[in-house]
């Protein structure tokens, strides 16, 4: 009886692991897409509105409290609080806090953090170039992520379950 | 060499006597409001030493000069000194703190509200006005486009001029430039060398005229005042709102060329008085004539040592000859001691009743 219970738990754990991985694969392209859209919105703010950065980033605050909107709004609130915080520091702090809540990986993060080191520190054209470059890089990552999802999402789902089953079979 | 300097700088030792410990403690201590707004936009490495300056220096602080990799300098009460990281003042630049590239990057980030891209117009003019009315002049490599300045990059030099408003300076001279018959102010030109307090004086005049006075001696109605603030010095607007109290009936055009701004003011805002800083160009004269013709009073300032100096300058000479100004106020350059104010009529004769010596405040 206990053996059966244990076996079921292993199966469940395996399935959860697989589904978790599958979910990350599914969410990553969507999140990258949202990030690119945010950068495009920021681009518009900078190009046509000349909106100061704290204000432009503050516009991303949404009631839905998604990690990405929270991250952007977090940067804005750090900048508004003052006390000598630069964009680069605020950017890094906020990314450190919210990035683990997303499904994006370390390389995606590197690209995004890089943007924080240049934002707000040069003239408009330069800013737009940096924003477009980052958006282009992230788009590339998004295409890659979509491909990965297509290849591995189903595999992880079944792999988790089957892996659990395999362990059960071996141990039984 | 050092002995000579030493004699000139006995205050440095006294001044260093009472200094304070580290950090961003000014935030808790409740710094004097003037300096607090200035310290707010300095990175901690620079704000610390400035906050640790002795009280006497902080109260007379005029400029904080920041140059990348070169000694940090402050100008106060007409003197200068180099500032070490622990807040000690010295005339020798060798022990002074040298702002790093990081400090400068942080500073530009803070004074531009993290958005240098939104500051193109200000960079072209060479300065950014921050909250509190302090003007930060910037120097760096200038980027040209078709021969005109488009932008500035590699910014490595900053001059933060601490803005102070001195209230009440105008009260001493207002009775002398007031026109009882029309119950308005006369066309007035304020003349002085730089740093003697022209801007501070006309700012206070704008405020005094805009408030009027309904009790006590010298009662007068409040006038509609229009300030044309080409260099953002008079009102020191931040996002369109004046940093200084320029009065309840005052409108401000910020950053507009003077001549154009005066015409816009005449057409759009129907002021009783136009206040404008630093006239002297051809096109300014036309606008002033236009204002005079429209029955609007003009209070203007001009660079110059005295009446004769001004009466010899091309555009001003014409204006004065045409009788555009019926009062000339001359400020004598004087640092730390009370300055002399002389009021002349339109033809350069001193008015009887020389006003009491006034402490002409430093302009920002």
Question: Which is it for the CA torsion B26, B29, B34, B36, positive or negative?
Answer: positive
Asked whether the beta carbons of B246 and B203 are under 8 A apart, the reply is yes
Quote the longest CA-to-CA distance of chain B: 62
User: Helix, strand, or coil here: B37?
Assistant: helix
Q: Report the number of distinct structural domains present in chain A.
A: 1
Tell which B residues from 62 to 121 touch A, by Cβ distance under 8 Å: 105-106, 108-110, 112-118, 120
Residue B71 has pLDDT above 90, yes or no: yes
Tell me whether residue A104 is in a domain.
Answer: yes
**In contact, B222 and B212? CB cutoff 8 Å:** yes
Residue B353 has a pLDDT of: 52
Helices (H), chain B: 2-8, 10-17, 26-29, 33-40, 44-51, 55-60, 101-111, 120-125, 169-177, 198-211, 258-269, 282-293, 307-311, 314-321
Q: Which two tokens stand for residue B20?
A: 């304070």
Flag if A51 and B115 touch (Cβ within 8 Å): yes
Q: Residue A155: inside a domain, yes or no?
A: no
For residue B242 the two structure tokens come to 């004046």
CA distance linking residue A21 with residue A28, whole number of Å: 11
| B50 contact residues in A (CB cutoff 8 A) | none
Once rounded to an integer, what is the mean pLDDT over residues B328-350?
A: 72
Closest chain B residue to A52 measured between Cα atoms?
B115
| Domain presence at residue A128 | yes
Nearest Cα residue to B227 out of B205, B197, B211, B195:
B205
Q: Do A123 and B153 make contact, defined as CB atoms within 8 angstroms?
A: yes
Residue at A45 is within a domain? yes
Low-confidence ranges of chain A (pLDDT < 50): none
Which tens digit of pLDDT belongs to each residue from B253-273? Answer: 988 889 999 999 999 999 999
Q: Which residues of B touch A54 (CB under 8 A)?
A: 113-115
Distance from CA of A54 to the nearest CA of B (A): 7
Q: How confident is the model at residue B165 (pLDDT cuts 50, 70, 90)?
A: confident
Q: How many degrees, rounded to 5, is the angle at CA B222 between CA B220 and CA B223? A: 115
Cβ–Cβ contact A84 with B under 8 A: yes
Of A54, A83, A123, nearest to B114 by CB-CB distance is A54
Calpha distance B278→B60 (Å, rounded): 25
Could you tell me the domains of chain B? 2-161 (no CATH), 169-345 (3.40.50.300)
Could you tell me the two tokens for A127?
């800013």
Chain-chain contact of A120 with B116 (C-beta, under 8 angstroms): yes
Q: Which of A120, A122, A126 lies closest to B114 in CB terms?
A: A120
In contact, B338 and B321? CB cutoff 8 Å: no
Which range marks the domain in which residue A40 is found? 30-148
User: How many Cβ contacts (< 8 angstroms) between chains A and B?
Assistant: 63
Q: What is the pLDDT of residue B32?
A: 60
Q: B130 or B336: which carries more pLDDT confidence?
A: B130
Q: Is the Cβ–Cβ distance between A112 and A35 less than 8 Å? A: yes
How many angstroms separate the CA of residue B29 from the nearest CA in chain A? 15
Q: Is the C-alpha dihedral spanning B53, B55, B56, B58 positive or negative?
A: positive
Q: What is the mean pLDDT of chain B?
A: 81
A contacts of B43 (beta carbons < 8 Å): 84
- The answer to the question of residue A154 being in a domain is no
DSSP B183: T
Nearest neighbour of A123 by CB, restricted to B113, B114, B120: B120
CB distance B115–A86 less than 8 Å? Answer: no
Q: How far apart are CA A120 and CA A41, in angstroms?
A: 15
**Contact status, residue A11 vs residue A164, Cβ threshold 8 Å:** yes
Tokens standing for residue B162: 């601490």
B250-254/B225-229 β-pairing: parallel
Task: ipTM value, please give it.
Answer: 0.74
Q: What does the pLDDT read at residue B334? A: 57
Largest CA distance in chain A: 71
| Residues in A touching B114 (Cβ below 8 Å) | 52-54, 79, 86-87, 120
- CB-based contact A124 B117, cutoff 8 Å: yes
pLDDT tens-digit map of A48-95 = 888 888 888 888 887 777 888 888 888 988 888 877 788 888 899 999
Beta carbons within 8 Å of B149's beta carbon, 6+ residues apart: B124, B142, B143
Closest-CA distance, A14 to chain B, in angstroms, reads: 48
Is residue A59 in a domain?
Answer: yes
Q: Is the pLDDT of residue B14 over 50?
A: no
Sign of the alpha-carbon dihedral angle for B205, B209, B212, B215: positive
**Which pLDDT value is given to residue B29?**
52
Instruction: Confirm whether A162 is domain-assigned.
Output: no
- The shortest CB-CB distance from B117 to any of A84, A88, A127 is to A127
Domain assignment of residue A44, yes or no = yes
**pLDDT for B60 beyond 90:** no
């Amino acid at each position: 009886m206990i053996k059966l219970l244990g076996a079921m738990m292993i199966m469940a754990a395996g399935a959860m692991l697989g589904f978790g991985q599958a979910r990350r694969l599914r969410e990553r392209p969507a999140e990258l897409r949202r990030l690119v859209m945010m950068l495009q919105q920021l681009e518009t703010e900078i190009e046509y509105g000349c909106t100061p950065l704290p204000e432009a980033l503050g516009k991303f605050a949404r009631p839905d409290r998604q990690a990405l909107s929270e991250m952007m709004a977090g940067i804005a609130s750090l900048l508004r609080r003052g006390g000598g915080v630069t964009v680069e520091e605020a950017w890094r702090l906020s990314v450190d806090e919210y990035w683990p809540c997303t499904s994006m990986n370390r390389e995606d993060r590197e690209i995004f953090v890089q943007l924080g080191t240049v934002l707000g520190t040069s003239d408009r054209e330069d800013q737009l170039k940096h924003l477009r470059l980052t958006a282009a890089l992230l788009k590339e990552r998004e295409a890659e992520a979509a491909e990965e999802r297509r290849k591995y999402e189903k595999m992880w789902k079944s792999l988790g379950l089957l892996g659990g089953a395999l362990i059960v079979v071996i141990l039984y | 060499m050092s002995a000579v300097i030493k004699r000139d700088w006995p205050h440095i030792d006294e001044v260093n006597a009472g200094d304070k410990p580290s950090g961003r403690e000014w935030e808790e201590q409740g710094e004097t409001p003037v300096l607090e707004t200035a310290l707010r936009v300095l990175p901690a490495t620079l704000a610390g030493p400035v906050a640790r300056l002795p009280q006497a220096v902080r109260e007379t602080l005029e400029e904080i000069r920041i140059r990348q990799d070169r000694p940090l300098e402050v100008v106060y009460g007409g003197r200068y000194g180099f500032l070490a990281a622990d807040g000690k003042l010295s005339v020798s630049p060798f022990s002074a703190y040298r702002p790093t590239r990081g400090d400068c990057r942080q500073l530009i980030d803070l004074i531009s509200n993290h958005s240098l891209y939104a500051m193109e117009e200000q960079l072209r003019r060479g300065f950014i006005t921050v909250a509190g009315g302090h003007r930060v002049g910037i120097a760096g490599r200038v980027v040209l486009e078709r021969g005109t300045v488009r932008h500035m990059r590699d910014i490595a030099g900053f001059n933060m001029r601490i803005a102070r408003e001195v209230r009440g300076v105008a009260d001493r001279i207002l009775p002398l430039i007031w026109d009882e018959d029309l119950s308005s102010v006369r066309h007035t030109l304020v003349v002085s060398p730089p740093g003697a307090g022209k801007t501070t004086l006309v700012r206070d005049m704008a405020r005094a005229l805009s408030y009027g006075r309904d009790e006590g001696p010298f009662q007068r109605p409040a006038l509609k005042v229009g300030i044309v603030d080409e260099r953002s010095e008079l009102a020191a607007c931040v996002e369109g709102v004046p940093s200084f109290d320029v009065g309840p009936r005052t409108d401000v055009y910020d950053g507009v060329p003077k001549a154009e701004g005066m015409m816009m003011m005449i057409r759009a805002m129907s002021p009783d008085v136009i206040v404008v800083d630093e006239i002297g160009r051809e096109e300014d004269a036309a606008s002033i004539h236009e204002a005079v013709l429209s029955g609007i009073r003009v209070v203007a300032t001009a660079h110059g040592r005295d009446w004769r100096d001004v009466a010899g300058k091309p555009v001003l000479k014409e204006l004065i000859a045409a009788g555009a100004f019926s009062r000339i106020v001359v400020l004598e350059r004087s640092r730390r001691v009370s300055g002399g104010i002389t009021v002349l009529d339109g033809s350069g004769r001193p008015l009887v009743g020389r006003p009491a010596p006034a402490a002409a405040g430093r302009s920002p």
